[in-house]
């Protein structure tokens, strides 16, 4: 049985409604209940449009819910100011997006360094940590290149490094290998899982496929904005 003090994040009756001009409101999530423990690898599986990205945005404090609440380390995110949420994202949450979101004018090294903006860590330690991480991800020779000079797989490796460099408590990955061939995607996932295990970070990954089943500690299915059984979700 998992101990309560190992609980990192939980959602209680979480819902999200998007209001559109001149059209009916869109209910993206409804009645979501989930919990993730420290060091756990949780996969959320669902088809396109099922609500996976909306859920990750709420868990990562990129958006606020319409109903229910998200508690991070026991505290309701809804009780935190925008400044407190920004600090939480900067210090404790790493994001990995399907579209990478790298800064095109920065080199590989600088993009990874941007994950430690306003860090109090001494500069020499920061640079040593970046070099070590780039070495693990086989990007050392690419450190002075711009994102457009990299392959798709190399760009996503940079995004992984940027998310991990600050040693976050929570890593949220939204279809991180969706744009890649299975071999390249599998290599990146292997490195991501290994790095998060070493950090003892919690990894919550959204996927439209079931290839992560064997590596995950748990899997949840989502359909039409609600947690569903595997059969209900169509898998």
Note whether residue 99 is domain-resident: yes
Note whether residue 178 is domain-resident: yes
* Torsion-angle region of 129 (φ positive above 0: left; ψ -120 to 50: alpha; else: beta): alpha
**By C-alpha distance, which of 127, 128, 178, 134 is closest to 154?**
134
Averaged pLDDT of the chain? 93
pTM for the full predicted model: 0.93
The boundaries of the domain holding residue 181 are 39-62+79-233
**By C-alpha distance, which of 122, 98, 126 is closest to 112?**
126
What total number of domains does the chain contain? 1
Phi then psi for residue 136, to 5 deg, are -60, -40
Question: E strand or H helix at 198, and its extent?
Answer: helix 182-199
Angle at 51 between CA 48 and CA 55, to 5 degrees: 135
**By C-alpha distance, which of 111, 119, 202, 125 is closest to 159?**
111
Note whether residue 210 is domain-resident: yes
CATH number at residue 191: 3.40.50.300
Note whether residue 11 is domain-resident: no
Note whether residue 67 is domain-resident: no
CB 169 within 8 A of CB 195: no
pLDDT single digits (tens) 179-216: 788 888 899 999 999 999 999 999 999 999 887 677 89
Note whether residue 185 is domain-resident: yes
pLDDT single digits (tens) 30-63: 999 999 999 999 999 999 999 999 999 999 999 9
**To the nearest 5 percent, what fractions of the chain are helix, strand and coil?**
40, 25, 35
- Token code pair at residue 165: 């460099």
Note whether residue 218 is domain-resident: yes
Note whether residue 47 is domain-resident: yes
- Token code pair at residue 213: 């089943």
């Amino acid at each position: 049985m998992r101990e309560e003090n190992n609980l990192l994040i939980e959602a209680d009756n979480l819902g999200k409604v998007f209001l559109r001009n001149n059209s009916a409101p869109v209910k993206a999530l409804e009645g979501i209940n989930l919990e993730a423990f420290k060091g756990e690898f949780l996969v959320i599986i669902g088809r396109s449009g099922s609500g996976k990205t909306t859920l990750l945005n709420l868990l990562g404090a990129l958006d606020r819910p319409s109903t229910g609440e998200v508690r991070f380390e026991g505290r309701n995110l809804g009780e935190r100011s925008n400044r407190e949420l920004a600090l939480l994202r900067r210090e404790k949450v790493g994001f990995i997006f399907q579209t990478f979101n790298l800064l095109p004018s920065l080199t590989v090294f600088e993009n990874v360094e941007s994950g430690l903006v306003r860090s109090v860590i001494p500069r020499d330690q920061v640079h040593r940590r970046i070099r070590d991480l780039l070495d693990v991800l086989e990007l050392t020779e690419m450190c002075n290149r711009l994102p457009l000079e990299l392959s798709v797989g190399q760009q996503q490796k940079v995004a992984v490094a940027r998310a991990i460099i600050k040693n976050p408590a929570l890593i949220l990955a939204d279809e991180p290998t969706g744009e890649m061939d299975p071999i390249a995607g599998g290599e990146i996932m292997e490195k991501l899982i290994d790095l998060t295990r070493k950090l003892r970070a919690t990894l919550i990954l959204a996927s439209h496929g079931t290839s992560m089943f064997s590596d995950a500690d748990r899997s949840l299915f989502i359909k039409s904005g609600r947690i569903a059984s595997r059969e209900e979700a169509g898998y």
